[in-house]
Amino acid sequence: MEIIMSAKRFLGRKVLMTGAATGVGNVLMHQLLAEGAIVVAGDIESSIEKTASDAGCVGVVADISNAAGCRWLHEAATAHFGAPDVLISNAGFIVPKPILETSEEEWDQVMAVNAKALFLLSKLVIPGMLEGGRGSIVATASISGMVGLGSQAAYCAAKGAIVQLVRQLAVEYAANNIRVNAVGPGAIATPFLDRYIDAQPDPKAAEDAVRAAHPMNRWATPQEVGNAIAYLASDDASFVTGHILMVDGGYVAR
């Protein structure tokens, strides 16, 4: 794996992160550990326990779409290392449908995994950050939170909610030295993208269309998105708050 940052920016930092079993979160977990962080990594997939333990951190099976799951994850983290310095709210889930085909249950689930989890986890970690006098929260938003995209009714709404909650929290807690930011990825080569493309009527045409929609004519590696999250979470971004860092090959610049 290619890790371009060499400094140990997270030495001793206590990181609580979600969506670490696969994709961006998994690559990021390894990067944070390589940079000295103490990590508690959550995911709904039971594989997280072994994946995290093999990497040298604690993995917790938790469904962060509801308050009980977020509490469970936060309690595991505080039992392991005390109050988190860093929250990375990265788990995400898409139902690739237009509004007329989206059920109420699908809407609620997409909003819960993406947006409500940031709300719930922020409520859990902010008191400890206030007490500690510092904190950094990074959420994974999307190009779908910045522009309207077809067949993504609930997902666009959920990622848009993340963008605005990030800005609101940033303003609310800036004076307390708690920074709140998000990354806004375009397409990323992860199982999430595979599932999205496979769900399209013509997967090959969809793959070509997704790639061509990005001015750089490709999609991101998970590491490229992980690098941006790590930057925002670290002291390298010490005067950056309320920012949505697009990692999209120029997608929203058009």
Ligand X SMILES: NC(=O)c1ccc[n+]([C@@H]2O[C@H](COP(=O)([O-])OP(=O)(O)OC[C@H]3O[C@@H](n4cnc5c(N)ncnc54)[C@H](O)[C@@H]3O)[C@@H](O)[C@H]2O)c1
Enumerate binding residues for ligand X (CB under 6 A): 18-19, 21-25, 43-45, 63-65, 90-93, 113, 140, 142, 185, 187-188, 190-193
Mind spelling out the 3-state secondary structure of 58-100?
A: EEEECCCCCHHHHHHHHHHHHHHHCCCCEEEECCCCCCCCCHH
Q: In the complex, what is the shortest distance from the CB of residue 75 to ligand X, in angstroms, rounded to a whole number? A: 15
Query: For residues 9 and 191, what is the distance between their CA atoms, to the nearest angstrom?
Result: 28
SS3 label, residue 14? strand
Among residues 92 and 135, whose Cβ is nearest to ligand X? Answer: 92
Q: In the complex, what is the shortest distance from the CB of residue 31 to ligand X, in angstroms, rounded to a whole number? A: 13
Phi, psi (deg, nearest 5) at residue 47: -60, -15
Phi, psi (deg, nearest 5) at residue 50: -75, -40
Among residues 23 and 96, whose Cβ is nearest to ligand X? Answer: 23
Among residues 130 and 210, whose Cβ is nearest to ligand X? Answer: 210
Query: For residues 61 and 91, what is the distance between their CA atoms, to the nearest angstrom?
Result: 12
Q: Does residue 155 have an active-site annotation?
A: yes
Among residues 126 and 138, whose Cβ is nearest to ligand X? Answer: 138
Query: For residues 40 and 20, what is the distance between their CA atoms, to the nearest angstrom?
Result: 9
Catalytic positions are 155
